[in-house]
Structure 1
Amino acid sequence: MPSLDPAERRLLLVHAHPDDETIGQGASMARYVAEGAGVTLVTCTGGELGEILVPELEHLAYERDGGLAEHRRGELDAAMTELGVTDHRYLGGFGTYSDSGMQWAPEGHPHHGSAIPADEAPERAFWEADLTEAADHLVAVIREVRPQVLVTYDQFGGYGHPDHIQAHRVATYAAALAAVPSYRPDLGEPWDIAKIYWSAMSASRMRDGIRRLREAGDDNAFEGFDPDRLPPMAVEDDVLSARVEATAYVGKKMDAMRAHATQISVDGPFFALSNNVGDEVWGVEFFRLAKGVLGPVGGDGLESDLFAGL
């Protein structure tokens, strides 16, 4: 059990676009809110260049009428209501940074199968933001909220999306700057975040889930995914640090995913995986410790709480 009183625990998550937070840590966010912890979400862009899965909203696309960011802002509000998160913000304020877009790396590219920057980026693209300027926006949040735990992406952003990579860079730099007493005292009193985690997916669970779906007769489940050659967002279990059990909050996570309707299809493989394989797929979330001391672990060698040891 953590030594911190639940009401004293503060968790900060830094994500690139609306919906990333729910897919990655929606169950954990709901669990920590329910336990009384403070949960703050910082979203770095409005997701202007996201694909639109709702035909009647296709006119909101960046290359057409625009307005997708404003619509996704409402989706994020609804999703956070489902999870119980009341403190969610945009880095620098809504509209400060734009979704940078992406493309899939072609054959022969070193990152074939992963995302890479688009040939052209829109105005105010997050990928092209000045790192110190962007970090300063987050320094102010860190010093205000004073979280003991920060969650963001790894150095590759999970799958190479430039905005995910930039979110990692900004979060990492901001965490370092926020702890320096002489740095920008106008942004608040210094604060050193005790533990920083990178979000992760368990390779063994993804591999098992895909195989079980296909054994059940769904040959199209995660089409293009080879269980033996998983995407880089799936990491082998020996590098995982924490396993947060939050299956009691899977319903909240699924409802939050549905709130992101322009981005997530209820008929897609994410929901198929949940409905056919079980709540444990989306109700147990994994993390890699990037800063701090590993707390007490269970029989699987993993922490069961991001605040373990604090």
Structure 2
Amino acid sequence: MTQRLLAVHAHPDDESSKGAATYAHYRSIGTEVLVVSCTGGERGDIQNEALESSAMANRDMAGLRRIEMANAQAAIGFEHRWLGYQDSGLPENDEPVPANSFALIPLEISAEPLVKIIREFRPQVLVTYDETGGYPHPDHIRTHDISLYAYEAAADASRYPDAGAPWQISKVYFDRIFNAPRIEAMYQFLLVNAPETPQLAQMQEFRERMKDRPVLTTTQVPVGDFFDARDTALRAHASQVAPDSAFFFWPNDLQRQAWPFEDFQLALSLVDSPLPETDLFSGIPAEDLSA
């Protein structure tokens, strides 16, 4: 039985903040996990004032982020591919997206290498972002677009005939890891067990920010044993994740007690899998897992 999971992300570091514990969990049971980074993160700013490699970041951000990605990959054990497109940056004040960046490449062109990867890797499960990208970064929104476009095209023998034999992915998930019930659960745990901790105020801030968001989770994967591996992968992206980042506000022991899951939304499925789920591969027939 070979389970194969494909995760499509916008930039190096996104895979570590949005699903790394899940990837580590599945790797621990023998699942093949392939992460695709659509861009190289070339236009990312330094988010860590204490970055030891700041000279390299200023000179060669793309090169540094490749090194960071390799370290994160080693921490989790997934396979990795670069799709090869340029980071679009995060334009402000109605500035245009830079020419030739990922967000501006026509889908029928940018999707072809992803279709080829799907047909070569033959995953049963695809994980990506929803139509908002999780936040309004043009590369995150484009990652959603290209993922669903390639999902459909990879299964159609008439499209991209030179990209390999067609392959039908069984299930598509959107990342829902940062959600209001998770924040509420951790807030209530602190309120009862550590009411004097300064982390309670931080949690209250997140609680207020998240309270009106819809709850779209269908699938909770129990991955608390892999939170430390997730954090090691996150810290590998040192140019983007500072030691005092909000990612590390709450000790993993707390998280394991209050919310030992990573959360996803089943967006598309060709198999019968009753909700809620605890396994991204739930409902996929054994014969499909051996293909």
- Measured against the shorter chain, the TM-score band is 0.7 to 0.9
Structure 1 stretches lacking a partner, 5+ long? 106-117
- Give runs of aligned pairs for residues 137-152 of structure 1, distance below 5 A: 137-152=113-128
Structure-2 separation of matches of 1:168 and 1:207: 28
Q: Deviations over 1:83-141 (max 9, x none)?
A: 011x20011xxxx3111111578xxxxxxxxxxxx614334311111211111110000
Structure-2 separation of matches of 1:103 and 1:281: 37
Q: Secondary structure at the match of 1:160?
A: coil
Q: Aligned to 1:278, which of 242, 255, 259?
A: 255
1:197 partner amino acid: Y
Any conservation in 1 of the 2:227–2:252 contact (CA below 8 Å)? no
> What is the aligned partner in structure 1 of residue 72 from structure 2?
79
Q: Aligned to 1:303, which of 265, 277, 290?
A: 277
Cα deviation for residue 49 of structure 1 reads: 1.9
Matched, 1:230 2:210: yes
User: Which structure is higher in RCO with an 8 Å CA cutoff and minimum separation 6?
Assistant: 2
Deviates more, 1:282-291 or 1:242-251: 282-291
Number of residue pairs the alignment of both structures matches:
277
Cα deviation for residue 161 of structure 1 reads: 1.1
Say if 1:285 and 1:104 are closer, same or farther in 2 by CA, change over 3 A.
farther
Cα deviation for residue 229 of structure 1 reads: 3.4
Cα deviation for residue 160 of structure 1 reads: 1.2
Deviates more, 1:135-144 or 1:274-283: 274-283
Matched, 1:68 2:61: yes
Cα deviation for residue 218 of structure 1 reads: 3.4
> What is the aligned partner in structure 2 of residue 119 from structure 1?
95
Q: Deviations over 1:196-238 (max 9, x none)?
A: 0011133111234356668422366269x45233299x641xx
Cα deviation for residue 192 of structure 1 reads: 1.0
- Give runs of aligned pairs for residues 109-258 of structure 1, distance below 5 A: 119-201=95-177, 202-209=179-186, 215=195, 216-218=197-199, 221=202, 225-230=205-210, 235-236=214-215, 239-258=216-235
Matched, 1:30 2:24: yes
Cα deviation for residue 284 of structure 1 reads: 1.4
User: Which structure shows the higher helix fraction?
Assistant: 2
1:18 partner amino acid: P
Q: Secondary structure at the match of 2:249?
A: helix
Structure 2 stretches lacking a partner, 5+ long? 285-291
Q: Secondary structure at the match of 2:11?
A: coil
Q: Secondary structure at the match of 2:262?
A: strand
Q: Deviations over 1:15-56 (max 9, x none)?
A: 000110111110110111111111111101111122211444
What is the TM-score when the length of structure 2 is the normalising length?
0.86
What is the TM-score when the length of structure 1 is the normalising length?
0.81
Q: Secondary structure at the match of 2:81?
A: strand
Deviates more, 1:274-283 or 1:34-43: 274-283
Cα deviation for residue 254 of structure 1 reads: 1.3
Structure-1 separation of matches of 2:272 and 2:243: 37
Q: Secondary structure at the match of 1:189?
A: coil
Structure-2 separation of matches of 1:256 and 1:55: 16
Indicate the percent of aligned positions where both proteins have the same amino acid.
38
Matched, 1:268 2:245: yes
Q: Deviations over 1:158-216 (max 9, x none)?
A: 01111110000001001101111111221000111110001113311123435666842
> What is the aligned partner in structure 1 of residue 288 from structure 2?
none
Pairwise CA RMSD: 2.5
Q: Secondary structure at the match of 1:14?
A: strand
Structure-1 separation of matches of 2:237 and 2:64: 10
Deviates more, 1:130-139 or 1:45-54: 45-54
Cα deviation for residue 273 of structure 1 reads: 2.0
1:75 partner amino acid: E
